[in-house]
Each structure stands twice: as structure tokens, then as C-alpha cells.
């Protein structure tokens, strides 16, 4: 009998791609998703049920009775369910903590009782905070950027002497430094998974996603990723609005590659020692600026060139790009979608309908 994977959040953007890839690889797949109306369109149930072979359970990861039922005869849990995005303001904090931290605690407790010992969990680059920089011969973490500097258009993190720091690739062994509510809950998810593995002998892969984009991205929500916001603006005939000076460095990784990383991680959990927990950066290995992404998308869609606004959001990081050496070496994963091809595909790919709409 084929192994069974439980994908929490499997009706979502990344979770849905994981479901599709897992089914194609021969897994039996069970999906647990709340289909929250502030996240999902009204046809989300039909979209999942139309995926041949997927079993859908509608419910919340924070509901222990539902989770207990979903863990029956499961070999590995792929935990994608989470409230994502930077958030609007501190009033979002209770929902982030309940949806991410508390729900993960419920899931892990249920996995212990059900004796399900393999976990692949969606984490995020945001756990690193401002990322890694070079200050002369030293690698340093940048301090938080001051509002006064941002208002004056001084966007680059600076050293103690006031000189701009040089961005560097960050690896998984660097200290985490979450700087907003979402980041704090993602890091807490990681800490909970580590404790679960130590106390139960479980095996966990913590996948720190970088800027994921691709078909079926969400739209029409303040929590959508920047790629979706640019695409929506261009569809309205408007120029994409790029915050700060557009030179923020990111790693844009295609959602199909992220799904592939999840399957590689699921296989990895079957072969490592009990109690093993490992974080992996899921990144393309190519550095691009947000302005470059906006310009490439505008060109692919034949739309107006991006407008650099100078606006900023407190809690945003300036540069965050990662080394993907560990996942390549230890999981044998390689990204398959080049940046230019991925952006061209994204320019015309179907997006998810706005929340609450068919």
C-alpha cells in the first residue's frame, strides 16, 4: 500500500502544490484545511475535491478531535497551514498566535499520541530577521532600521560607524531574530517542532521558504505576497508600486520547486535517526531585487513600468537571501524553474480567486 501523507493547509497556494506533487509521486494524500472565508474563495472545496485521489477533511488544525481523526494511518505530516504575511497591525497578533503557534502545538501533541513520527513543516525566511551582512572582514547581523532613517530615505542597514553594510547569503546555522508577529510565530513553530522531536524521537524537516511565487497565488488580500500584488496591479492597467527604492534583495522560488522540496524532505524523514531536526533554506540560489521582479513581470505582461514610491512598512526587512547549499547537499533537491521562465509563466497563470468569491 502506498504511504499516506497528511497535508495541513492543502487547499492553499503552497499546500495545493504539495498535494498535486505528492499524488503524482504515488502518495495517498489526506488534506486538512479550514477553508477560512477570509483566505479562500467559495469554490475551494470543489477545487480540492477535483484533484484525483485527494481526501479532504474540512476543519481547523487547532481542533484536536479533527486532527486525531486525520492522523489515522498517516506516515508523515506535511504542515503547511498557517496565517501568512506581515500583517496589518498588532490587532492581528491573536489570530497569528492561534493559527500558527497554538494550532501547531495541538497538531504535535496529537502526533505524539497517534505515534506519527515524521514531520515536514513550512517555516519562513522571516525567522532570520534582517539577514546577514558583511562589515569589513566580519559577518554581522544588522540592527533594526530606525523609522527616522526610513522616513529620510536611508534604507540600507548601517554599521556602528554609520557605513552601509554589504548583504551576504545566510545559512541555517545563523541565529534567528524574528522582527514581526508573523515571524515570531513561525519561529515558535520551529521551537515547538524541535521539542516534539526531542521528547518523542520524531524526525522533522523545517523548510524555511523564501519568496514563493507561481500559479494559484492568492490575490485581493493585504496578506498576499508581493508578486501577487504586482500582478494584480498590472491586470488593472496600473504600474506596480515598489516600496523603498526597489533594491531590496530577495530570492524568488517557484511554487513547484517548493513542492518538490517538501517531497524530498518527506523522504529524508524516513531515513534519519530518531530525534533528528534539521532546518533547510528553500531558495533558488539566485538573488534578485524586488524592483527587478516587478520590471520583469511588467515586461512579460506588456504593462507599465514599475513606480518606485519610497514608501516603507515597519517590520519589513531590507535584504534577506539565503544559501541553499544544505538542501542541495543533504536532500538532493535542485530548483527546476529558472527565474525568467517562472516570471513569464506567472504573467499569465491563473491566480486564486479573491477570498469569499467563486
CA 237 and chain centroid, separation: 28
What residue ranges define each of the domains in the chain, with the CATH number in brackets?
4-347 (3.40.50.720)
Query: What Cα–Cα distance (Å) separates residue 160 from each residue in 49, 155, 165, 317, 320?
Result: 56, 15, 10, 18, 20
1: pLDDT confidence band, cut at 50, 70 and 90? confident
Q: What is the pLDDT of residue 44?
A: 54
Closest CA to 201 of 108, 117, 113, 106: 117
For residue 40, pLDDT beyond 70 = no
Q: Is 323 helix (H, G, I), strand (E, B) or coil?
A: coil
Q: What is the pLDDT of residue 160?
A: 80
Q: Is 281 helix (H, G, I), strand (E, B) or coil?
A: strand
Q: What is the pLDDT of residue 69?
A: 97
> Between 297 and 45, where is the model more confident?
297
Q: What percentage of the chain exceeds 90 in pLDDT?
A: 77
> What digits encode the pLDDT tens for the residues 91-146?
889 999 999 999 999 999 999 999 999 999 999 999 998 889 999 889 998 888 88
Q: How do beta strands 307-308 and 4-8 pair?
A: unpaired
> What digits encode the pLDDT tens for the residues 155-178?
999 888 888 899 999 999 999 999
Q: What is the pLDDT of residue 42?
A: 54
Residues contacting 83, CB < 8 A, separation 6+: 92, 95, 96, 99, 100, 182, 185, 223
Please state the rounded mean pLDDT for residues 16-31: 97
φ, ψ for residue 150, nearest 5 deg: -65, -40
Which stretch, 51-60, 72-81, 157-166, 311-320, has highest mean pLDDT? 72-81
Please state the rounded mean pLDDT for residues 30-35: 94
Please state the rounded mean pLDDT for residues 223-249: 92
Indicate the pTM of the whole model. Answer: 0.93
d(CA 74, CA 12): 20
d(CA 28, CA 20): 11
Please state the rounded mean pLDDT for residues 281-299: 97
Please state the rounded mean pLDDT for residues 233-254: 96
Q: What is the pLDDT of residue 129?
A: 87
225: pLDDT confidence band, cut at 50, 70 and 90? confident
231: pLDDT confidence band, cut at 50, 70 and 90? very high
Residues contacting 158, CB < 8 A, separation 6+: 142, 149, 164, 165
Contact 112, 161 (CB under 8 A): no
Amino acid at each position: 500500500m502506498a504511504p499516506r501523507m497528511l497535508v495541513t493547509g492543502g487547499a492553499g497556494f503552497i499546500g495545493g502544490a504539495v498535494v498535486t506533487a505528492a499524488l503524482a509521486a504515488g502518495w495517498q494524500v489526506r488534506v486538512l484545511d479550514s477553508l477560512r472565508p477570509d483566505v479562500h474563495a467559495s469554490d475551494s472545496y470543489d477545487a480540492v475535491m477535483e484533484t484525483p485521489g485527494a481526501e479532504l477533511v474540512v476543519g481547523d488544525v487547532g481542533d484536536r478531535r479533527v486532527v486525531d481523526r486525520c492522523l489515522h494511518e498517516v506516515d508523515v505530516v506535511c504542515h503547511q497551514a498557517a496565517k501568512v504575511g506581515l500583517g496589518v497591525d498588532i490587532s492581528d497578533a491573536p489570530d497569528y498566535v492561534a493559527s500558527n503557534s497554538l494550532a501547531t502545538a495541538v497538531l504535535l501533541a496529537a502526533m505524539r499520541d497517534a505515534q506519527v513520527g515524521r514531520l515536514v513543516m513550512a517555516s519562513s525566511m522571516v525567522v532570520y530577521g534582517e539577514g546577514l551582512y558583511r562589515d569589513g572582514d566580519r559577518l554581522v547581523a544588522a540592527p533594526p532600521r530606525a523609522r527616522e532613517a526610513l522616513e529620510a530615505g536611508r534604507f540600507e542597514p548601517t554599521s556602528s560607524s554609520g557605513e552601509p553594510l554589504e548583504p551576504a547569503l545566510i545559512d541555517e546555522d545563523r541565529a534567528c531574530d524574528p522582527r514581526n508577529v508573523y515571524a515570531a510565530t513561525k519561529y515558535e513553530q520551529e521551537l515547538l517542532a524541535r521539542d516534539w522531536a526531542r521528547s518523542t524521537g520524531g524526525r522533522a524537516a523545517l523548510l524555511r521558504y523564501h519568496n514563493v511565487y507561481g500559479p494559484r497565488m492568492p490575490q485581493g488580500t493585504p496578506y498576499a505576497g508581493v508578486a501577487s500584488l504586482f500582478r494584480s496591479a498590472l491586470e488593472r492597467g496600473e504600474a506596480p508600486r515598489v516600496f523603498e527604492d526597489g533594491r531590496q534583495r530577495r530570492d524568488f522560488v517557484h511554487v513547484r520547486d517548493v513542492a518538490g522540496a517538501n517531497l524530498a524532505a518527506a523522504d529524508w524523514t524516513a531515513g534519519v535517526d530518531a530525534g533528528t531536526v534539521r532546518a533547510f533554506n528553500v531558495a533558488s540560489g539566485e538573488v534578485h531585487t524586488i524592483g527587478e521582479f516587478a520590471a520583469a513581470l511588467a515586461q512579460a505582461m506588456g504593462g507599465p513600468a514599475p513606480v518606485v514610491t519610497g514608501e516603507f512598512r515597519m517590520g519589513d526587512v531590507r535584504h534577506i537571501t539565503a544559501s541553499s547549499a544544505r538542501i542541495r547537499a543533504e536532500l538532493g533537491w535542485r530548483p527546476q524553474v529558472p527565474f525568467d521562465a517562472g516570471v513569464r509563466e506567472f504573467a499569465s497563470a491563473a491566480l486564486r480567486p479573491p477570498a469569499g468569491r467563486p
